[in-house]
């Protein structure tokens, strides 16, 4: 247990360093790239005084290190500046839009794990036979198209031709839900409103499936690849010799050691989903951070762009720490290791 | 080479992938000659044939201003493949050199380099490209730049891990013992052993670059109209679902077919070279 806590501190420290790096990178993208950010933000018809005023507000007349220091000190107070698109603090915008995206991404991640891992186990269990080939082709197909293509295809099939699911939005308009966490699935439950909860679930399924598809493929492929390696180990042969059922061997003996590399990939796929949410949200008119992100980018709203990217990177780092801790917890070699061993 | 092709051909799926890739490269190169309406790659309007369903004249239908979708897909393949080749041609050498230096030399330089790589990798790939395009003007060149900036760290990490394990091999030790200099060991001894992994990744990545680039243009941040691009074609057509389904379905399938081809081929190469996932 002590080693897991040690690992947590090490990971937190590294993540903090990486986060500083990310803030530099984002700052560099926003400032070093040619062009006057104030002019870009205000558009070609802006008056000289307006540009001067905005330059002063954004500290653009200072030297770059001073600007970066200013950016960092604002950041440490949770101040990401004001959005030129909504005229509100960027932090307020993010608090409003982030939960919808996280809700979508978390559900997609859940679908990825619940479908991808069993498919991988199935393929490895029937290695070289038809279920294996089928899973391989399906997995390869799902990773071969961007999220927006799957979103459009699913929408066409299951919202238009077979009208099983709604076309757009998060919840039917008739429901009034008081915002508590911003996660509609949770808020409707807290309010005890079963109809609204059902509507929220009904709305999220299609976008979540569209978002999860390529992750399912990745998870299935990797689980299969790792399990195929594990199947070559002597202790599996031993289990066969004992006469254990193949399904039991697949589940309890071959899958467990493969779970850890699979978890690592799931962490990476989560990052990909945070990006792909931009595409899926656009198709399903999902009112999340990604839609906000695209809107502020088209408006050249630098504060909002920097804030959005920073919060996405932060989310990703947090998820990765959780994944690392989970791995440490699942791996007996780390869980039981003493200080010397680590 | 012959042996590699034989292993590749022994797996029907890999062979199918190779055929798809060759076919797509050919139709992209030959687009001006084989497209039924070669002028439709630009700002042409033909309202008499606007928004027509697939038929004998237009196999994949026409778009809202009457341009032949099949012809535009052929031209869009040209853009996608060019973008993929340029991005990989720049990102791969940069990432490889960084990975080799960090992997072989190690030490504080290696640590600093890989921490920089970590910073790039901790922003989801598409988000980094989107952020860059948010500041840059949406043109083909800038899209290439944005995708390259997000792409090189993946090669750095791949080559770093291969170089780390190769460093412990006997042949590296032998080269060190006979007094070969660092540059020789890095580029003449270790690099050739990283090539199978690099080539496999490049094949798989052609597909991923096509996905990322089409995603950018889907969001309106990539190649601008009237230049044909698979992503912007899907975005344009999505507003007219389900009635004018051909506007989105065919460009979407065009992406799927191309990327699927590169993925099948890359998977096959992985078996040929014995590269791990």
pTM to 2 decimals? 0.89
Q: What is the Cα–Cα distance from A289 to A99, expressed in whole angstroms?
A: 8
**What sign results for the dihedral spanned by CA atoms A126, A129, A130, A133?**
positive
> Under an 8 A CB cutoff, do B242 and A222 touch?
no
Higher pLDDT, B82 or A63: B82
How close, in Å, is residue B20 to chain A by CA atoms? 13
Q: Is the pLDDT confidence value at A26 over 60?
A: yes
Alpha-carbon dihedral of residues B212, B215, B220, B222, nearest 10 degrees?
20
Window B:164-203, CB contacts with A under 8 Å: none
Distance from CA of B48 to the nearest CA of A (A): 27
Span B124-149, mean pLDDT? 87
> Which of A294, A308, A277, A29 lies closest to B132 in space, CA to CA?
A29
H helices present in chain A, as ranges: 2-31, 37-42, 48-57, 64-76, 90-111, 117-125, 130-142, 147-155, 184-190, 194-231, 234-241, 246-248, 255-284, 289-298, 302-330, 332-335
Within B180-229, residue ranges assigned H as helices are: 182-184, 191-218
Mean of pLDDT over chain B: 88
Give the CA count within 13 Å in the CB-facing half-sphere of A273.
Answer: 33
Distance, CA of B215 to chain centre? 12
Long-range Cβ contact pairs of A243-250 (< 8 A, separation 24 or more): A246/A125, A247/A125, A250/A121, A250/A124, A250/A125
φ, ψ of residue B153 in degrees (nearest 5): -60, -30
Q: What pairs with residue A89 in β-bridges?
A: A82
Domains and CATH numbers, chain A: 2-76 (no CATH), 93-298 (1.10.3720.10)
Model confidence at B257, pLDDT cuts 50, 70, 90, reads: very high
CA B194 to centroid of chain Cα atoms: 20
pLDDT at A341 over 50: no
pLDDT at position B233: 92
Considering chain A, what percentage of its residues have pLDDT values greater than 70? 94
Confirm if B268 and B14 have CB atoms less than 8 A apart: yes
Evaluate whether residue B136 is within a structural domain. yes
Confidence check: pLDDT of A189 > 90? no
Bridge partners, B62 (sequence order): B68
What CATH code is carried by the domain that includes residue B110?
A: 1.10.3720.10
Q: Which of A138, A114, A144 is nearest to A208 (CA)?
A: A114
Flag whether B52 is in a domain. Answer: no
DSSP A251: I
The answer as to whether B206 is a domain residue is yes
Shortest alpha-carbon distance between residue B220 and chain A (Å):
8
ipTM of the complex: 0.89
- Chain A residues in contact with B122 (beta carbon < 8 A): 18-19, 21-22, 271, 313, 316-317, 320
Residue B136: the pLDDT is 83
B124/A225 CB distance under 8 A: no
Characterise B106 by phi-psi region: left (phi > 0), alpha (psi -120 to 50), beta (else).
left
Instruction: Check: CB of residue A210 under 8 Å from CB of residue A150.
Output: yes
Residue B44 lies in a domain: no
| A291/A212: higher pLDDT | A212
Of A19-33, B21-35, B79-93, B198-212, least confident by mean pLDDT is A19-33
For range A132-152, the mean pLDDT: 92
Residues of chain A with Cβ-Cβ distance to B276 below 8 Å are 225
H or E element in which residue B14 lies: helix B12-29
**Sequence-ordered list of residues with C-beta below 8 angstroms from that of A20, at least 6 positions apart, any chain:** none
**pLDDT tens digit sequence for B140-162:** 888 899 999 989 999 999 999 88
Q: Is B55 within the bounds of a domain? A: no
Q: Is residue B120 part of a domain?
A: yes
Q: Is B245 on the interface with A (CB under 8 A)?
A: yes
Taking an 8 Å cut-off on Cβ atoms, the answer to whether B252 and A40 are in contact is no
Contact A152 B241 (CB under 8 A): yes
Give the number of domains in chain B. Answer: 1
Which helix (H) or strand (E) segment holds residue B159: the answer is: helix B140-166
Please check whether residue A226 is in contact with residue A123, taking contact to mean a CB–CB distance below 8 angstroms.
no
Distance CA B202, CA B246 (A): 32
Q: Is the dihedral of CA A292, A27, A276, A219 positive or negative?
A: negative
Closest-CA distance of chain A to residue B132, Å: 6
> Nearest-CA residue of chain A relative to B150?
A25
B115 interfaces chain A, CB cutoff of 8 Å: yes
Highest mean pLDDT among A60-69, A116-125, A227-236: A116-125
For residues B49, B51, B57, B61, the Cα torsion angle rounded to the nearest 10 degrees is 160
| Distance, CA of B152 to CA of B182 (rounded, Å) | 23
Nearest Cα of chain A lies from the Cα of B135 at a distance, in angstroms, of 7
Which residues, other chains included, contact A123 with Cβ-Cβ below 8 Å and sequence gap of 6+? A131, A132, A135, A136, A220, A223, A224
Residue B51 lies in a domain: no
Q: Would residue B85 count as lying in a domain? A: yes
Confidence tier at B30 by pLDDT (50, 70, 90): very high
Structure tokens at A308: 């959005």
Quote the percentage of chain A above a pLDDT of 90.
21
Which of A145, A272, A317 should we substitute to test contact with B (largest number of B Cβ atoms within 10 Å)?
A: A145
Domain that holds residue B233: 2-6+20-38+62-273
Measure the CA–CA gap between A242 and A232, rounded to whole angstroms.
16
Distance CA A77, CA A92 (A): 13
- Is-contact A146 B214, C-beta < 8 A? yes
In the stretch 12-41 of chain B, residues with CB closer than 8 A to chain A read: 13
């Amino acid at each position: 247990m002590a080693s897991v806590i040690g690992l947590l501190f090490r990971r937190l420290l590294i993540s903090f360093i990486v986060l500083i790096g990310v803030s530099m990178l984002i700052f560099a993208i926003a400032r070093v790239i040619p062009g006057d950010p104030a002019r870009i933000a205000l558009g070609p018809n802006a008056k000289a005084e307006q540009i001067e005023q905005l330059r002063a507000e954004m500290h653009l007349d200072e030297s770059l290190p001073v600007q970066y220091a200013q950016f960092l000190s604002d950041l440490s107070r949770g101040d990401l500046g004001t959005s030129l698109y909504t005229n509100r603090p960027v932090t307020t915008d993010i608090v409003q839009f982030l939960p919808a995206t996280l809700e979508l991404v978390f559900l997609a991640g859940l679908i990825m794990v619940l479908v991808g891992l069993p498919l991988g186990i199935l393929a490895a269990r029937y290695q070289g036979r038809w279920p294996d080939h089928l899973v391989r082709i399906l997995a390869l197909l799902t990773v071969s198209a961007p999220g927006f293509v799957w979103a459009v295809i699913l929408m066409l099939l299951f919202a238009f031709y077979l009208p099983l699911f709604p076309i757009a939005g998060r919840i039917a308009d008739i429901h009034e839900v008081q915002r508590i966490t911003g996660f509609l699935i949770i808020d409707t439950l807290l309010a005890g409103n079963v109809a609204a909860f059902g509507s929220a679930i009904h709305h999220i399924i299609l976008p979540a499936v569209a978002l999860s598809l390529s992750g399912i493929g990745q998870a299935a492929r990797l689980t299969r690849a790792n399990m195929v390696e594990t199947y070559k180990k002597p202790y599996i042969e031993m289990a066969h010799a004992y006469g254990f059922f193949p399904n039991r061997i697949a589940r309890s003996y071959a899958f467990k050691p493969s779970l850890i590399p699979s978890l690592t990939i799931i962490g990476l796929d989560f990052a990909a989903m945070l990006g792909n949410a931009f595409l899926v949200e656009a198709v399903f008119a999902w009112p999340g951070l990604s839609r906000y992100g695209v809107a502020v980018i088209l408006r050249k709203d630098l504060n909002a762009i920097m804030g959005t990217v920073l919060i996405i990177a932060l989310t990703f780092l947090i998820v990765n720490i959780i994944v690392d801790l989970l791995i440490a917890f699942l791996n007996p070699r780390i869980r039981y290791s003493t200080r010397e061993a680590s | 080479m012959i042996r590699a092709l034989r292993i590749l051909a022994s797996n029907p799926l890999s062979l199918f992938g190779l055929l798809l890739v060759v076919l797509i490269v050919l139709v992209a190169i030959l687009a001006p000659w084989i497209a039924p309406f070669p002028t439709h790659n630009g700002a042409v309007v033909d309202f008499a044939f606007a928004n027509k369903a697939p038929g004998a004249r237009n196999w994949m239908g026409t778009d809202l201003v009457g341009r032949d979708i099949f012809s535009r897909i052929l031209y869009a393949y040209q853009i996608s493949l060019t973008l993929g080749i340029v991005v990989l041609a720049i990102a791969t050498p940069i990432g490889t050199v960084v990975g080799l230096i960090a992997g072989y030399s190690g030490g504080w330089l290696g640590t600093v380099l890989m921490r920089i790589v970590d910073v790039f990798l901790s922003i989801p790939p598409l988000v980094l490209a989107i952020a860059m395009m948010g500041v840059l003007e949406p043109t083909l060149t800038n899209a290439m730049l944005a995708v390259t900036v997000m792409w090189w760290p993946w090669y750095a990490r791949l080559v770093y891990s291969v170089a780390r394990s190769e460093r412990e091999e006997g042949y590296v030790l032998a080269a060190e013992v006979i007094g070969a200099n660092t540059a020789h060991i890095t580029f003449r001894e270790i690099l050739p052993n990283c090539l199978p992994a690099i080539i496999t990744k490049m094949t798989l990545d052609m597909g991923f670059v096509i996905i990322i680039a089409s995603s950018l243009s889907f969001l309106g941040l990539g190649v601008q109209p009237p230049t044909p691009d698979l992503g912007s074609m899907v975005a344009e057509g999505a507003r007219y679902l389900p009635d004018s389904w051909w506007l989105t379905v065919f460009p979407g399938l065009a992406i799927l077919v191309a990327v699927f081809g590169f993925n099948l081929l890359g998977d096959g190469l992985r078996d040929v070279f014995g590269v791990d996932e």
